[in-house]
Structure 1
């Protein structure tokens, strides 16, 4: 490496002598790890065109370390283009495989106001939650700050609401091992399911800062017994979002394509499984609150596990069977969530009524296979992390007072098999 630097230094000195002792300032840029220098000599064969300036640049091939600060004397960029090379490379990588674009600029400021986030007090709120967590004998002592901040944002920085939601998050991880164990996307049952549907968030955000997620089945032969694995994948994606959405979003929009739903699927659906999932994703309305000591004194809706701000649910390509399914599920939903569920016979009806969904995020819907593949790769990269997270859960034997009774917590069992379907 030192030899390469010395060679480049000598070339720079030779060039300096040829120019009367004046060093020629390089107007440089970064492209795929190469340093591009202005080509003023017509005899140079290897050139590359930059689209913005439309000028020719000489490609200097070198294994120079990709860290500009380590060799400032070897290439001193023009002040206008000066930037940390690591930041540029990181940005290129993020753009190449972006699965969760983060808000910035004015949009981020707008979201911050909507989430009631005060930059002057949020660190104090975070410290208060961390201190509370350390004092709970049945909950994990330590948790990463980014996810706790996501919970605070999801609770509009209400400390008491955040405490209840965190308690339920860790409780559900204990109560629902079918959702929170064996979370390896390379397992045959998960990998096969992921390849037969599209069920991921889109990379972009709506103009008002909301994250759009699309769920579309591509195989009518999907077995209802795979619903548990489908919920598992959804919660795996939810945990990744908790970790990576560092700036928060203005809420969630779900677009569900019901084209492959059949009466056979509905007949085998388990209400208990559905309700467990709804509690996790913050839209369940009923449960035996008195059976959960942490919320005995609380009124209002039942606490949920994930800090989701559900703004809209759109069901497209709906058939009469979908109306029946929504009728069955609605009693489990909060009143405000019921009013946010919209059903359309075709996809075009949704686009006609919600133009803003077609601007930025839904442009990614045209490339659902690529979005899904990117998420599969991301989930695969998280395999070891998911394995470590299996121990991060509530220990009911250490909970002050009466431990949670899971059977009474969910309060429902059976299936929809006996329901009449027209």
Structure 2
């Protein structure tokens, strides 16, 4: 099956920045597939698109790709609290989806998929942090499937809205949990290219320093805190694609939340099938 680009610009970008060419693409996919055949305990997906995600994220470095694939499927096997029973209809997940803890946009920033992560939209007395992570990853998986090219070729711009963050929220993120979260960011099948923090409290650097201690140097360099308000954010993410709650000219957050809630429900069978693909640990 041929992997088709939406236009020539995408093809040129993939070749220039990801080392993806017609010559190496299918050869690399086949090599990774044969390697996965020797590791049945990983129970990894072997279709072209699934392998392609990791190749693009590692710029076709085969050894890095293999390491990331192993890390990803072992993580799925170990983090059952995030990757098992991903049912969007159960109350603890449905409530978080309706709160909009993780909301992708439907327009792109320099072709990157943009997601707004509302770190304090949930009540820490009611909702478990693991369920917040589970709901967020469910929405992310759906968004990657829906916008495969943008997410895997150009990567992801994450906007962390820290409005109303409290001590209760902070207590849900001990260093052990932060380490797991950062590991997931760095080993998922899409690349975080921007980490933009807005509406941050004065103690943000204390929290971020813990996060950064688990990040690669490259990922640390992608973190930016916007202390001067939304005007600073608009310099790196256009107002044209942002919801009006963030000073933008697009639709409302409520519309986006409703849209993605429906999308996630449509992927219910996909989540059941996806759960099969995780390492035996």
| TM-score grouping bracket, smaller chain normalisation | 0.7 to 0.9
Q: CA 1:259–1:145 in 2, change beyond 3 Å: closer, same or farther?
A: same
- Say whether 1:211 aligns with 2:105: no
Per-residue deviation, 1:390: 1.9
Q: Is the 8 A contact 1:316 1:344 kept in 2?
A: yes
Count of aligned residue pairs for this structure pair? 271
Q: Is the 8 A contact 2:102 2:139 kept in 1?
A: no
What residue number does 1:251 align with? 155
Give 1:5-404 correspondences, 5 Å limit: 104-113=6-15, 114-140=17-43, 143-207=46-110, 209-216=111-118, 219=121, 221-223=123-125, 225-247=127-149, 248-282=152-186, 304=187, 306-354=188-236, 356-360=237-241, 366-396=251-281
Give, in whole Å, the separation in 1 of the partners of 2:122 and 2:277. Answer: 36
Question: Could you say what secondary structure the match of 1:204 adopts?
Answer: coil
Higher helix share: 2
Give, in whole Å, the separation in 2 of the partners of 1:126 and 1:105. Answer: 22
Give, in whole Å, the separation in 1 of the partners of 2:156 and 2:273. Answer: 27
**Which structure's relative contact order is higher, taking Cα pairs within 8 Å and 6+ residues apart?**
2
Per-residue deviation, 1:331: 1.0
Per-residue deviation, 1:126: 1.0
Deviations 1:379-421 (A, max 9, x none): 111112212222211124xxxxxxxxxxxxxxxxxxxxxxxxx
Give, in whole Å, the separation in 1 of the partners of 2:79 and 2:89. Answer: 21
Q: CA 1:344–1:110 in 2, change beyond 3 Å: closer, same or farther?
A: same
Per-residue deviation, 1:232: 0.7
Per-residue deviation, 1:223: 3.5
Deviations 1:242-292 (A, max 9, x none): 54444333122111111110123213423222221211110xxxxxxxxxx
Deviations 1:35-88 (A, max 9, x none): xxxxxxxxxxxxxxxxxxxxxxxxxxxxxxxxxxxxxxxxxxxxxxxxxxxxxx
Q: Is the 8 A contact 1:205 1:361 kept in 2?
A: no
Q: Is the 8 A contact 2:98 2:261 kept in 1?
A: no
Larger radius of gyration: 1
Please provide the CA RMSD for this pair.
2.5
Q: Is the 8 A contact 1:210 1:253 kept in 2?
A: yes
Q: Is the 8 A contact 2:101 2:136 kept in 1?
A: no
Kindly report structure 1 stretches of 4+ aligned residues shifted beyond 6 Å: none
**Which TM-score applies when normalising by structure 2?**
0.85
Question: Could you say what secondary structure the match of 1:380 adopts?
Answer: helix
Per-residue deviation, 1:231: 0.7
Per-residue deviation, 1:367: 2.3
Q: CA 1:156–1:219 in 2, change beyond 3 Å: closer, same or farther?
A: closer
Question: Could you say what secondary structure the match of 2:164 adopts?
Answer: coil
Question: Could you say what secondary structure the match of 1:333 adopts?
Answer: coil
Give, in whole Å, the separation in 2 of the partners of 1:314 and 1:130. Answer: 35
**Which TM-score applies when normalising by structure 1?**
0.59
List gaps (5 residues or longer) in structure 2.
none
Give, in whole Å, the separation in 1 of the partners of 2:124 and 2:23. Answer: 50
Q: Is the 8 A contact 2:105 2:241 kept in 1?
A: no
List gaps (5 residues or longer) in structure 1.
1-101, 283-303, 397-422
Give, in whole Å, the separation in 2 of the partners of 1:263 and 1:334. Answer: 27
